[in-house]
Chain A
Amino acid sequence: MSGFIVHRLIQTVFVLILVSLIVFVVMRFLPGDPILLYLSEDQVRNFTPQQIAEVRAQFGLDKPVMVQYVDWMRGLFRGDFGISMSYRIPVWEEISRRLPITFYLGSIAFVVSILLGIPMGLIAAVRRGKWSDTVATLLANLGITLPVFWLGILMIYLFGLYLRWLPTFGYTSPFENFWLSTRQAIMPVICLTIFATASSARQTRSAMLEVIQQDYIRTAWAKGLKERVIILRHALKNSLIPVVTLKGISLRNIFGGSVLVETVFNVPGMGRLAVDAMMSRDYAIVQGVILIIAVVVCLANLIVDISYSWLDPRIRYG
């Protein structure tokens, strides 16, 4: 077990290095001068070539690329993500204010997708062909069909403007005003979770259907075990293996969804920050946001994989 974890840790470090390389390459080699990471476009236009050369030297942009990368990484470890052009504050300050918001909404959405999606798929598989299967399968198919931002707009129209049950936008910290915060969080969380919930339900259903046909399940029935024990202990645990793999991907999709959902509901989180920064060409922020999100997804995947090894002993000892 510990051997597996150590192996997986080393692997994660390697992947994180590659993540940082991808961000570095994307931000520096795509069209546009990397000097835009440090200066706004207006400044670049107004500066004399000599001033620009000075700025280049100041930020080390005249050095070889490899040296630039190493310098940049050193800065990251000191928490130096650069200065935001539009907010005029260190990038890390802005990110550390917004990350908890996205993390809060995203983790609720993630937990909901597990607590709702897996039982849905389980019921659909066990009651295969019955009406509960039809309903669950239909809902799951609907869930992976809806554009989340459109669902958001529909809900704003229905629950916010028409029925006036819920506030239509904004975010409040749960520590400040728990009731308002929860009311504001309901619609964004539904939007964030719907795709993940629906896809785990689908995955659980098809995995269960496959496992139920295995010989050891027939043996369990023949032994006279109770249905509850067979379904929960023998079938579900084995069906969860592909579902857990999928959960790693759905985490990434929840973060991706937050880009859209936070825009629709005006939630000041990471996704919104990424969109705003992209629109105002605030590249230092863009760089920080994609890096942090990718790192969070990597670390979350590490946790998922370790829990995976608990489910599937073949991985632990293999």
Chain B
Amino acid sequence: MAREGAVGAGVTEMPPRYSEFQRFCSVFFSRSLVLIGLIITVAAVILALFAPILAPYDPNKQNLSQRLLQPSREHLLGTDALGRDTLSRIIYGSRASLMVSAGALFVATFVGVLLGLIAGYFGGIAYMFIMRFIDALMAFPTILLALVIAGLLGGGLTNIVLALGIGLISSFARLMCAQVLSVKENDYVLAGRAMGASDLRMMFMHILPNSFPPLIVQVSLWVGFAILSEAGLSFLGVGIQPPTAAWGAMINDGYKYLLTNPALSFAPGVAIMLVVFGFNMIGDGLRDALDPRLRGRL
């Protein structure tokens, strides 16, 4: 019933020959919010990639004679305390935001998947130690752990990515472990073992690929959180180091001029919201399309 709902009305006359990909698309694109999210996300990625072409001004060029200008036709969102164009800095800020969150998610997924795979596959003492370690890691709020690690390591792109990545590991390890435990019960795992496949082969050639769909959903649902955390860190002053533009730091800088130039703080926040919203919607769409329990129902 769930499948019929997804592929439409013509099902009753002829058995459908829809591929998984078609089914995925029909669910994924059926909700307008997901489509809007996709457009926003693609726009943000294009902005980040082509920032030098799209930005009207050099984001770091100071012009003290033009400081704290109100929004106007030359400067659509005004200028900051150093006379830098706010719109250009927001466009460039998308780079910091996307790079840090993508990097952090990569680190977290890589380590988390490895830990979860080992814990779930071997079970026993490995399971106990790894999962209790993950429990312990879970006790630290992501942003606090990232704040401390980034503070100790010092700023810079790599360190922020590492710090935030470590803060996010626990969720992925948990999911992966649960996933492995359920995939392991399948007959093809038993068959593979009977044919003498090695542990490594079983783990990486059979169990890992079969655990992918929920993992992709999980990653996509965490992108928004990663972007928010990156913004929070840079708001606190431990993100990408100035003068490189970062949205969180821009909000913090603009805070001082809240009464006279509210756009300085408001505009980067709107940028964060839009991008997070875009990724969240894609995450929801992926979940609806890939989750076997929801297959096409939503």
| Residues A275 and B147 in contact in the complex (CB < 8 Å), given A15-B132, A154-B266, A157-B258 | yes
| Residues A260 and B236 in contact in the complex (CB < 8 Å), given A19-B136, A31-B154, A144-B224 | yes
Chain A-chain B contacts (Cβ-Cβ < 8 Å), number: 142
Determine whether the beta carbon of A26 is less than 8 Å from that of B148. yes
Q: Does A278 sit within 8 A of B, measured CB to CB?
A: yes
- Among B142, B143, B277, the one with the most A-chain Cβ atoms within 10 Å of its Cβ is B143
Determine whether the beta carbon of B135 is less than 8 Å from that of A15. yes
Least CB separation from A195: chain B residue: B228
Question: Which A residues are in CB contact (< 8 Å) with B204?
Answer: none
Question: Which B residues are in CB contact (< 8 Å) with A271?
Answer: 144
Q: Does B289 sit within 8 A of A, measured CB to CB?
A: no
Measured between C-beta atoms, what is the minimum distance from B184 to chain A in Å? 19
What bracket does the count of chain A residues touching chain B fall in?
A: 35 or more
Question: Which B residues are in CB contact (< 8 Å) with A267?
Answer: none
Q: Does B231 sit within 8 A of A, measured CB to CB?
A: yes
Determine whether the beta carbon of B280 is less than 8 Å from that of A146. no
Residue in A145, A252, A275 whose beta carbon sits within 8 Å of that of B273 in the complex: A145
Determine whether the beta carbon of A31 is less than 8 Å from that of B153. yes
- Residues of B140-163 at the interface with A, using a CB-CB cut-off of 8 Å, are 140-145, 147-149, 151-154
What bracket does the count of chain B residues touching chain A fall in?
A: 35 or more
- Residues of A270-308 at the interface with B, using a CB-CB cut-off of 8 Å, are 271, 274-275, 278-279, 286, 290, 293-295, 297-298, 301
Residue in B136, B139, B280 whose beta carbon sits within 8 Å of that of A252 in the complex: B139
Determine whether the beta carbon of B139 is less than 8 Å from that of A274. no
Q: Does A85 sit within 8 A of B, measured CB to CB?
A: no
With the chains together, A200 CA to B154 CA distance in Å? 35
Determine whether the beta carbon of A290 is less than 8 Å from that of B140. yes
Q: Does A313 sit within 8 A of B, measured CB to CB?
A: no
Chain B's interface: helix, strand, loop or mixed, by majority? Answer: helix
Question: Which A residues are in CB contact (< 8 Å) with B248?
Answer: 147, 149
Measured between C-beta atoms, what is the minimum distance from A244 to chain B in Å? 15
Q: Does A253 sit within 8 A of B, measured CB to CB?
A: yes
Least CB separation from A11: chain B residue: B132
- Residues of A210-233 at the interface with B, using a CB-CB cut-off of 8 Å, are 210
Question: Which A residues are in CB contact (< 8 Å) with B276?
Answer: 144-145, 147
Determine whether the beta carbon of B154 is less than 8 Å from that of A156. no
Q: Does A317 sit within 8 A of B, measured CB to CB?
A: no
Measured between C-beta atoms, what is the minimum distance from B113 to chain A in Å? 19
Least CB separation from B237: chain A residue: A279
Determine whether the beta carbon of A297 is less than 8 Å from that of B148. no
With the chains together, A259 CA to B235 CA distance in Å? 11
Q: Does B116 sit within 8 A of A, measured CB to CB?
A: no
- Residues of A149-163 at the interface with B, using a CB-CB cut-off of 8 Å, are 149-150, 153-154, 156-157, 161
> Which A-B residue pairs are the 8 nearest by beta carbons?
A256-B141, A18-B136, A150-B269, A294-B139, A30-B152, A278-B151, A256-B143, A297-B139
Other A-B pairs beyond A22-B137, A27-B152, A257-B143, 10, CB < 8 Å: A11-B132, A15-B136, A16-B136, A26-B152, A30-B149, A144-B276, A147-B231, A150-B272, A154-B269, A295-B139
A interface residues with partner B (beta carbon < 8 Å):
11, 14-16, 18-19, 21-22, 26-27, 30-32, 141, 144-150, 153-154, 156-157, 161, 210, 249, 252-253, 255-257, 259-260, 263, 271, 274-275, 278-279, 286, 290, 293-295, 297-298, 301
